[in-house]
Amino acid sequence: MKWYLAILSAVFLVLAVACSKPICETDNECPVRAHFTVNCIDENCSYTPIPNECGNTLCDGDENYCRCPSDCRTDPCEGIVTGTQYLEQSCDAQDECTTDVKEGVQEARKENNILPIPRGGGEMSLVEFYKDPFNVRRDDMEIEISLTELRDATDHRVKRIEVRADGETLGSVSINRPLHDVGKENGFTQLVPFNERLLGQERTVNNIEILVDVEFVVSGVTRTEQVVHKWRGITLTYVQPTAKYACPASCDDGNAGTRDYCSDATDNRCMHEIIAGACGNGIADPGETRCTCPQDVGTCDSLSTNYLQYSCLQSECRATVLSTSSIPIKPQRVERALGNQGEKILMSVEGKSPFNVDQDRIIVTIEFVASTDIPTLTVHEVLLEDRERNDLGIFAQEQTLSDTNPRVELQLPVQNLPKGQSTKEITVDARYSYGTVTDKSITSRLDADDGVVYLNP
């Protein structure tokens, strides 16, 4: 029986060998498959993907879904970008997968307010136009700025604008643009782009503020203050797509003082480069005046006050004092005892408001009550100063007073005041000596309830 089984096994082995032919003996015997190399290995056809060829089932080299969707199907370039609400992805003309703002989702919005300018700078109107969501690579925030009230301030200039959210600067511009007078027609519109280095491809921010640095002049003193427009309960979403945008048909901003251009080097955004020395560039360049370039320096008549009228005369802005009755200021009298025999010095100060420095004078009267112990008193000088101790004039001719010449009246001009109209309190300080006593002084002031108005046309 064993011999029978052995013979049967041998027969089966012969049959198996006869029926199992090899798949290949050479590479040429293997079917060709595009984008693969084929080799006959151990009588079997082996296929290896050819690197960087579309169709090799590998998303390799510079392939992406746009160039080879069959290989890169696990990373499709279509639909809303993961983790965003407003960005969608698609293939561009260069077969790059780019993101852009979904069509139809942007809304035009506006915020506005009228805000005080601190420290007597008047009032300012701010109107902000923007899109939400805001495309950082394409949009600008458009801000209209104008004055609604001057008060006693002049020569307003906007020096810087910043858009801030959650304590972070979204965008800012440094400028030097004048605001000549109240009214929208005397204001301007400024474009503020956002910083393209902001975090995130889509982000919603809160606590939005528009900060405007304003320079102005009050009573001859230049001040810089900040106006802050806080958006209450409003959020803003910004997006940073990767799409390539074309330059607009025109970048003209209507300003002859800027060079407007756009190119690949500017990421196809319009740029408005200030032309140095050009009237209209928003800068008061050397040689420009209120009469030769009012759009940069400011209009001449905007300096006019209730007492001064400004107008251009031979390209110079000149002031004329309006015919207004001046009001005498109640004399300020002070006295000081000098000894034990009734000796004393008395000083009174008189003036008027408004005070025209070209023709008016401060009248200072000094009297001396003498005695045999103190027969004479010498006034060495009389000084005029403001609150900040700025020198406004000095009378340095010595005057000797005695019982035969007990009184002197001085008519003193006010000097070194800024051009235009200002309101000040002036201190009058008389320095004197008598006998062996030296370096003494008596002080009075020329002031009124609302201050004294000084005119320096």
Indicate the residue type of 351: G
Decide if 222 contacts 214 (C-beta within 8 A): no
Query: What percent helix, strand, coil does the chain show, rounded to 5?
Result: 5, 50, 45
Decide if 91 contacts 77 (C-beta within 8 A): yes
Instruction: Output 168 or 14, whichever has higher pLDDT.
Output: 168
Closest C-alpha among 144, 139, 282 to residue 198: 139
Q: Which domains does the chain have, with CATH numbers?
A: 36-101 (no CATH), 107-245 (2.60.40), 327-456 (2.60.40.2550)
pLDDT, tens digit (0-9, with 9 covering 90-100), for 222-264: 999 999 999 999 999 999 999 999 999 999 987 888 899 999 9
Alpha helical stretches, state H, 283-416 = 294-297
Indicate the residue type of 241: P
pLDDT level of residue 3 (50, 70, 90 thresholds): very low
pLDDT level of residue 165 (50, 70, 90 thresholds): very high
pLDDT level of residue 306 (50, 70, 90 thresholds): confident
pLDDT at 6 over 80: no
Read off the pTM: 0.66
Q: Which of 11-15, 86-90, 94-98, 302-306 has the lowest mean pLDDT?
A: 11-15
HSE toward the beta carbon, residue 134, CA cutoff 13 A: 26
Distance CA 298, CA 120 (A): 19
Mean pLDDT of 173-181: 88
pLDDT of the residue at 356: 92
Distance CA 171, CA 176 (A): 17
pLDDT of the residue at 447: 79
Distance CA 255, CA 272 (A): 9
pLDDT, tens digit (0-9, with 9 covering 90-100), for 360-381: 999 999 999 998 889 999 999 9
pLDDT, tens digit (0-9, with 9 covering 90-100), for 329-351: 888 899 999 988 889 999 999 99
pLDDT of the residue at 91: 94
pLDDT level of residue 124 (50, 70, 90 thresholds): very high
Q: What is the percentage of the chain residues whose pLDDT exceeds 90?
A: 61
Q: Buried b / exposed e across 152-169, counting CB within 10 Å, b at 16+?
A: ebbbbbbebbbbbbeeee
pLDDT at 316 over 80: yes
Closest C-alpha among 164, 167, 145 to residue 156: 145
